[in-house]
Amino acid sequence: MSEKTLLHQTAALLGDFGIAAETLTNGDLPVASPIDGSRIATIRRHGRNDLDGMIAAAERAFLRWREVPAPRRGELVRLFAEQLRRHKEALGRLVSIEAGKILEEGQGEVQEMIDICDFAVGLSRQLYGRVIASERPGHRMIESWHPLGPVGIITAFNFPVAVWSWNAAIALVCGDPLIWKPSDKTPLCSLACNALLGRAIERFGMPDEFPRGLSQVAIGGAELGEALADDRRLPLVSATGSTRMGGMVGPRVARRFGRTLLELGGNNGMIVAPSADLDLALRAILFAAVGTAGQRCTSLRRLFVHDDIADTLLDRLRHVYAQVKIGNPIEPGTLVGPLIGEAAFTAMQQALEEARRDGGQVFGGERVLADRWPDAYYVRPALVEMPGQSELVGRETFAPILYVMRYRDLDEAIANHNAVPQGLASSIFTTDLREAERFTSAVGSDCGIVNVNIGPSGAEIGGAFGGEKETGGGREAGSDSWKAYMRRMTTTINYSRQLPLAQGIRFEVDAS
């Protein structure tokens, strides 16, 4: 695809979102499409002074937004979902152009945004506290939840819109303004999303009901992330990215006693037991390992296969890997698009070379289509049969590499599965009830997401998303994840004429 075509497509899409053409040419940050490496925009970076003004505006917005009733705040999110439904195809296409995802996945990411908005609208009437039994007669205790304050949201290139929406939809109904720092590889998607939210805001109600500064986008690099982490005016920073990035953001926020919600590395594993339905497992492995060109935090990277079925499954995997169509992600039928850039390709090749030195047998992994697109990085997904779980396998390489290892005993496989620093998503394929229950028990997988007979990739928004250990411990999207965006208050009300103290303490003086 020529630069002109991608450039014009991008400009047309952003124009439909209401973004002025000069926005795409008046800056110093070049934006390239991984599809062919061509430049599709040059936009303005924000500096520290810009960010300071955004945070000040968010503070002012918070003072008014927190007083809007939560169901009314939910109405804004409902209106945003309407915009997303109307522009699903266009926004999904922009995701494909800027992040390199196939169209199916780009559309799926926007659908995920719609789903979380629907969830948040219902949640806006369910921000429940509790009534707590008091030990003192004539007293009542209440737990309630109140808006927290402006939220800083840092997102990664691989899910340039969905992960922001997990945070944004919930934070908005909880009463919190948003400041979004997207990846500098995918800033155009953030401008599009904020423009659509702006349209929802325009429809939301009377101008004096909407505070300025409710949602803002800060474009830039790591220096803006550091500034968000350091600013005491942001009580919560939600950051998605590498474990290395989380290791920098977390301590900075902790030094000022702020809260973090961290979604970091995955390095996810699957166990395929002797009783597994291999047809089912094969399909799950393929999508989880090669979907999004292996650039999901939930991508399958480690596969533990029982000795009795390993040869059969590996033969079938090699066959389907050879059939996968690699190419332009916006062309029908493509299943694997490009890596995000040269650095990702280099990291993948270095990992495959190390695997060979460790005794691994590598199938695939080579660069393809370089003659057609010399500035883009397409690769054939790699299958690597390893003699054991080496130090390399314990590191996450953000590329389509699947390390395959054999096992004899389930407890041995579980121990190896858990013997990595990350703890996001996991999976077992088995038709043995005991094996399934053991994997999901306290002695089984140590991950935040544990699946049976489905792969580790492709979580629904109804469940809390996140993991343990170096994955960061955060939870986003469904379940009770909304509590991260609010502050908890415990209130005791005395409706008696007495003043008994807790724990039966007596503390009296003669007041006569």
- What would the pLDDT profile of 262-279 be if each residue is shown by its tens digit? 999 999 999 999 999 999
Q: Once rounded to an integer, what is the mean pLDDT over residues 390-396? A: 97
Q: What DSSP line would sit under 305-354, residue for residue?
A: EEHHHHHHHHHHHHHHHHH--BS-TTSTT--B---SSHHHHHHHHHHHHH
> Which residues on adjacent β-strands are paired with residue 492?
141
Q: For position 1, what pLDDT does the model report?
A: 46
CATH architecture of 48-264+472-489: 3-Layer(aba) Sandwich (3.40)
Q: How many C-beta neighbours within 10 Å does residue 72 have?
A: 13
What the block records as the tokens of 186 is: 């995918």
Neighbouring residues of 98: CB distance < 8 A, sequence distance ≥ 6: 10, 31, 33, 40, 160, 185, 186, 188, 189
Lowest-pLDDT choice from 19-28, 242-251, 289-298: 19-28
Model confidence at 451: pLDDT above 50: yes
Q: For position 211, what pLDDT does the model report?
A: 77
Q: List the catalytic residue out of 174, 189, 193, 297.
A: 297
What the block records as the tokens of 359 is: 């005794």
Q: For position 207, what pLDDT does the model report?
A: 64
117 catalytic per annotation: no
What the block records as the tokens of 447 is: 């991950």
CATH of domain 268-460: 3.40.309.10
Q: Once rounded to an integer, what is the mean pLDDT over residues 31-56? A: 97
Rounded distance, CA 31 to CA 22, Å?
Answer: 14
358-377 CB burial, b ≥16 within 10 A, e <16: bebebbbbeebbeeebebbb
Q: For position 458, what pLDDT does the model report?
A: 82
pLDDT category at 297 given cuts 50, 70, 90 is: very high
Rounded distance, CA 428 to CA 455, Å?
Answer: 8
Model confidence at 36: pLDDT above 80: yes
Name which of 40, 18, 169, 16 is nearest 100 in CA terms.
40
Q: 492, 140 in Cβ contact below 8 A?
A: yes
Quote the radius of gyration of the chain (alpha carbons, Å): 25
Lowest-pLDDT choice from 291-295, 454-458, 466-470: 454-458
**146 sits in which H/E element:** strand 139-147
Q: Once rounded to an integer, what is the mean pLDDT over residues 373-401? A: 98
Please provide the average confidence, as pLDDT, over all residues in the chain. 96
Q: For position 427, what pLDDT does the model report?
A: 98
All structural domains of the chain with their residue ranges:
48-264+472-489, 268-460
Rounded distance, CA 473 to CA 172, Å?
Answer: 22
Query: In Å, how far are 73, 74, 148, 202 from 209, measured between CA atoms?
Result: 11, 14, 19, 11
Model confidence at 4: pLDDT above 90: no
Each residue of 91-130: pLDDT tens digit?
A: 999 999 999 999 999 999 999 999 999 999 999 999 999 9
Name which of 339, 437, 433, 434 is nearest 380 in CA terms.
339
**Which amino acid, one-letter code, is at 339?**
L
Distance of CA 285 to the CA centre of its chain: 20
193 catalytic per annotation: no
Name which of 267, 19, 256 is nearest 152 in CA terms.
256
Model confidence at 206: pLDDT above 70: no
Query: In Å, how far are 106, 193, 424 from 296, measured between CA atoms?
Result: 13, 21, 11
Q: 466, 310 in Cβ contact below 8 A?
A: no
**Which amino acid, one-letter code, is at 445?**
S
Each residue of 402-436: pLDDT tens digit?
A: 999 999 999 999 999 999 999 999 999 999 999 99
Model confidence at 153: pLDDT above 60: yes
Domains 48-264+472-489 and 268-460 belong to one CATH topology:
no
Model confidence at 209: pLDDT above 70: no
Q: What DSSP line would sit under 11-71, residue for residue?
A: HHHHHHTT--GGGGTSSSEEEE-TTT--EEEEEPPP-HHHHHHHHHHHHHHHHHHTTS-HH
Distance of CA 197 to the CA centre of its chain: 19
Phi and psi (nearest 5°) for 239?
-130, 130
Q: For position 3, what pLDDT does the model report?
A: 45
Model confidence at 459: pLDDT above 90: no
Q: Once rounded to an integer, what is the mean pLDDT over residues 374-391? A: 98
Q: How many C-beta neighbours within 10 Å does residue 441 have?
A: 11
Phi and psi (nearest 5°) for 337?
-90, -160
87-123 CB burial, b ≥16 within 10 A, e <16: bbebbbbbbbbbbbbbbebbbbbbbbbbbbbebbbeb
- Reduce the secondary structure of 213-241 to three states and give it as a string: CCEEECCCCHHHHHHHHHCCCCCEEEEEC
- Reduce the secondary structure of 171-218 to three states and give it as a string: HHHHCCCEEEECCCCCHHHHHHHHHHHHHHHHHHCCHHHCCCCCEEEC
Q: List the catalytic residue out of 109, 263, 385, 396.
A: 263
Q: Residue for token digits 């650095």?
A: 343
